Amino acid sequence: MKKSYIIIINILIVGLILFFIVKYANDRATESNRASIASFEKMTTTTEQIIANYLKDEQHLCDIWSNYINRSAEAGTPMTIDEAISFIRKAKISPEISGHLIYIDDGSMSGISTNASTTDPSDYSVNYSQIHIFENLEISNVEGVIKLTRAYTNPLNGVQSIAFLNNVKIVDRKTDKLRDGLIIRVVPVSRLEQKLVFLKGEYEKVEISLIDWDGDYLIHGKSLKNSNFYEYFRSYNPMSTQEYNRIVDTIREGIGSMHIQNSKGEDCVIAYTPLRGLDAWHLIAYISSKELTVNRSIDWLLLAIVSVGLLILLYFNLFILHGFNRKLTVAAEAANQANEAKSYFLSTMSHDIRTPMNAIIGMNEMIRRNSHEKKIQEYSEQIQNAGNTLLGIINDILDFSKIEAGKMELIEVDYTPVTLLNDLVNMVQNKAEEKGLAFQLDVDKKIPGMLRGDEIRIKQVITNILSNAVKYTKEGGIVFSVTADKAEGKADEVILHVSVSDTGIGIKKEDLDKLFVAFERIEETKNRNIEGTGLGMAIAQSFLHMMDSKLQVESEYGKGSTFSFDLRQQVVDWEPKQFQSERTQYHVPFTAPEARILVVDDSEINLKVFVSLLNETGMQIETADSGETCLSLFRRNHYDMIFLDHMMPGKDGIETLKEMKECQDTPNRGTPVICLTANAVSGMREMYLDAGFDEYLTKPIDTGRLEQLLLKYLPSNLITEVTEKHRILLVGSNIARVKQVAEWLSEHYQVAVAKSAEQAVAYLKKHETQLIVAEQACEFPIGLDEAGMLRICLEDIDKKEILSQVNEFFDGRD
């Protein structure tokens, strides 16, 4: 992971923690705020109760006055206005409160007061004609109902006051008639304000206002501007008329609170409640939001400390991480260097071993092809086996390296399972026989003729299993079984069941887990004489995993093991091909005498191997021992294919290829160039293809692969496919004569010789032959197919005669 990602993730985590802390704090704040507002609302309703009780008390006192006056009237002894005022003057206790009694029946709204005017101590007259406070007031003498005016200016002392009212009946002495009067209990607003002083303790900055239905103030909070609360609200809280009306209705209709903006644009909270007993009056408690949130239960200091702590931790972590990163970088560099050294070693080892191996295996192949001596053939086969084993070890190491690097890929091709099995049997059977082990082959005849899959890897898996079976079995035998079943639900697929059983040393249960561990060899001490890298099973299991399969092991220690796996393969051709276990002699699959090939390699022996391997194709093969020579020939002569080695002194293969590609003056533009290299480590194929090679062929040269490439890249008109020669077994006791006749027949047929019937029978047990040519006297066991036998007089017959008879035999059969 990149350092920047780690930093980003760290920052994100710190950010998230801070986010959650802030969110938590905010939630708590919101909760706290809600609680504060609820408490504020509660305070408002408490205040309302106090004010309502006070107003009720004041009204009650006013009622006492009016009741006394009215009862006198009801009793037939009505009071005059002076008597009534005199009574009130005696009844009232507080000097701040005054009583006014005015006539209302004549509209004069004038009368007298308990207190004199402040400007004239002898003047007790009072006039309300210019003070409009009685509009919209319906005054009825119902006990307990508060009849209250808005705040107004007391005409006698100019003090802002409120008035409690009641109707009274008084007598006018001038006329002796009862008149309608209004008794007014005048209370200074400041007296009401004093009732709210108690609030200062809890809410220092709360401002209480009392408003009437229209919003006009009775008591005016300091911060609330305007003479009308609703106008004030609208001035500083812009909104649509509908919204405004809704808010006014809300305040008028219930108890609650809301946030508003004051004249400075600050957020404030108002709590509102109607005054009980006074429908038209409302109490508004106003407080700044800041004041309400002062007591919030958020510990901002703690939050800040946590934030700073996290940031320090982040910085510290990044610092430590930076240190670790530096160490890791150093370690990674060392590991990279080690890995590069390993790669270099593998590459070098592979190259350096494969180069001489190419010569060994190549030359041995030539011996196998050209020698008919049994002993030499046997020696050659042993060389081939040893070579293949060595190559297998190198391949295992290289494959494991590829698997470790995650560079191993499956390459699917169409293949003939019969051929694959043939190769496997040919490879293992000899080894088994050499150890005196019975090798039993059980191949299902229903196996389709052609499948699609990674033939090389399948072959490698089975080879590893079979090789192990041979290696770890001292006596008894090996059973190699391959069967096929149609895959369920997939019409074009088949499941191959592959199983290898042996009577070998077996594996302990506790060791089964070690079986697939790389470089782990079970009972190392006991088996130290048995060759192996400990990679075979690990590689086999890895390949099977890649092919969605798994190697199963059943083993009994000391008695033997069974390795098996099921493999799903796509079917290309369902028609089965007959499996024949035989050792085959090499036959050149095609000839191309007109084809011109250039092979470039700094190793003279490898050039010789290449030329020898393709000798029978008849192709015109030119060699070059360096890049420079190659380029010289490249510019001068036309070639149909070029095989170019990579690692050469002087100009290497890639440099040479680059110059070849850049070369304009050449008859070889478009000529395919195949990389012929002993460098077979992982990633090399891609590297060579990227470098511009058309294909990649590793050393030691696999003749079959080489011939496949030639068939693929050579122009088809240059190729003549060679049909396989009929196989003839020539039996005769006169060795010299048998050799002579065999030589004649060899020009057209594949000829094997036997000097006796017994030898011929032994040969036939292991080899297939289409015709037995035997001298008359030779006696064969009963049951030998006479129809495939031609009797001749070996001593007298000439070349023409023998060829005529043999040709006639095969013509008749065809």
Residues that bind other proteins (CB under 8 A): 96, 117-119, 127, 130-133, 152-160, 188, 190, 220, 222, 225-228, 231-232, 235, 238, 263-264
Q: What is the DSSP letter of 180?
A: E
Which C-beta is closer to other proteins: that of 72 or that of 161? Answer: 161
Shortest separation between residue 242's beta carbon and other proteins, angstroms: 13
Could you please report the per-residue DSSP string of 90-153? HH---TT-EEEEEE-TTS--EEEESS--SS-TT--EEE-TT----TT------TT---BPPPEE
Question: Which tokens go with 102?
Answer: 């005015």
Q: What is the Cα–Cα distance from 95 to 685, expressed in whole angstroms?
A: 116
Q: Considering beta carbons, is residue 223 or 703 the nearer one to other proteins? A: 223
- Minimum CB distance to other proteins smaller for 130 or for 716: 130
For 524-541, give one letter per residue: b (16+ CB within 10 A) or e: eeeeeeeebbbbbbbbbb
Q: Name the residue nearer to other proteins (CB basis): 244 or 810.
A: 244
Which residue matches tokens 């099973």?
Answer: 537
Cα torsion through 57, 63, 65, 67, rounded to 10: -150
CA-wise closest residue to 399 among 465, 464, 445, 332: 464
Phi, psi dihedral angles at 248 (to 5 degrees): -60, -45
CA dihedral sign, ordered 107, 112, 115, 117: positive
By beta-carbon proximity to other proteins, the closer residue of 159 and 456 is: 159
Instruction: Tell the smallest beta-carbon distance from residue 133 to other proteins (Å).
Output: 8
Shortest Å distance, C-beta 109 to other proteins: 11
Min. distance of Cβ 130 from other proteins in angstroms? Answer: 4
Cα 755 from Cα 730, distance rounded (Å):
8
Percent helix, strand and coil across the chain, each to the nearest 5? 45, 20, 30
- Type and span of the H or E element at 747: none
Among residues 219 and 710, whose Cβ is nearest to other proteins? 219
Q: Output 260 or 731, the one with its CB closest to other proteins.
A: 260
Minimal distance in Å, beta carbon 409 to other proteins? 47
- Least Å distance, CB 397 to other proteins, is 49
Alpha-carbon torsion angle 198, 200, 205, 210, nearest 10: 10
With respect to other proteins, which residue has the nearer C-beta, 247 or 255?
247
Determine contact, residues 171/79, Cβ cutoff 8 Å: yes
Nearer to other proteins, 34 or 132 (CB): 132
| Closer of 132 and 446 to other proteins (Cβ) | 132
Q: What is the DSSP letter of 725?
A: P
- Report the residue number, 227 or 804, with the smaller CB distance to other proteins: 227
DSSP letter for 509, please. Answer: G
3-state SS, residue 500: strand
Handedness of CA 402, 691, 689, 353 (dihedral sign): negative
Residue 121: other Cβ atoms inside 10 A: 9
Minimal distance in Å, beta carbon 168 to other proteins? 23
Task: Supply the minimum distance, in Å, between the C-beta of residue 314 and other proteins.
Answer: 13
Residues 62-67: contacts with CB under 8 Å, at least 24 apart: 62/147, 62/164, 62/165, 62/166, 62/183, 62/185, 63/141, 63/143, 63/166, 64/91, 65/91, 65/99, 65/166, 65/168, 65/183, 65/185, 66/141, 66/166, 66/167, 66/168, 66/183, 67/141
Shortest reach from residue 226's CB to other proteins, in Å? 5
> How many alpha carbons lie under 13 Å from residue 534 in its C-beta half-sphere?
12
The distance of closest approach from Cβ of residue 153 to other proteins in the complex, given in angstroms and rounded to an integer, is 4
Shortest CB 190 distance to other proteins, Å: 7
**CB-based contact 734:794 (threshold 8 Å):** yes
Q: Closest CB to other proteins among 157 and 426?
A: 157
Output the smallest distance, CB 186 to other proteins, in A: 12
CA 684, chain centre distance (Å): 30
